Amino acid sequence: MRLLCLLLCLICTSASARAADSWEPLGTTAGVAVQRKTMADSPLFAFRGEGTFEVPIGLLITVLKTPDLAVEWVDLMTAHKVVRPLTPDQNLIYESYGLPWPLSDRDYLMTETLRYDEARRAFTIDYASVEDASMPPKADHVRARAFRTFWRLTMLDANRTQVEVEVFTDPMGALPAWMVNLIQKDWPWKTIDGLVGRAKRGDIRPDPGVAAWGQ
């Protein structure tokens, strides 16, 4: 009997681990396939969006790297600024997001780390929440936390790019998990759609860091 109980426990544990590691498809909107994943020890889901688009990678990188453009295309964003550079490839940044009434607006203080990978023809930005005395929490915002959150752009050819975004954040405050998940589930496709649309507007130049890729 004890052996049977042990086997059942192992089976349940294995099934739970597989569930936590697997992505559940939620559908495709505007060319973006959205998925969610159960995170261990959290009632919140991680969400990701992915799609391939007819836009050069250099234009997308320029949009991602230009702070003044962010509020034009990131879903719900009301402010984005670089507080200060930390290294040539890393910045301390501040972002705020407006939520529907009666919810309080949220903000984030994060590092963003930029990486160019010519061998894989990929560009990534990774985000992680931090604390810094220069940017304490504001009275009219709830300071949220970002965990596994990143952008990844992969060059497929001169005019096609695979775009991925993954977000796992905790908005903190008195928000039920079901409401957080409801708000966040559309963010990946709306924001990727915004990124692609902004890159196609014709008023920006491609990032020089990828000029030699594919040559």
pLDDT at residue 40 tops 90: no
What pLDDT, on a 0 to 100 scale, did the predictor assign at position 120?
97
- Out of 16-20, 52-56, 109-113, least confident range: 16-20
- Report if pTM > 0.85: yes
Domain boundaries along the sequence of the chain:
37-210
DSSP single-letter state for residue 136: P
Q: What is the CA radius of gyration of the chain?
A: 19
Contacts of 45 (CB under 8 A, 6+ apart): 36, 37, 38, 39, 168, 181, 184, 185
Fold of the CATH domain 37-210: Alpha-D-Glucose-1,6-Bisphosphate; Chain A, domain 4 (3.30.530)
| Predicted confidence (pLDDT) per residue in 165-197, tens digit | 999 998 887 677 777 777 788 999 999 999 999
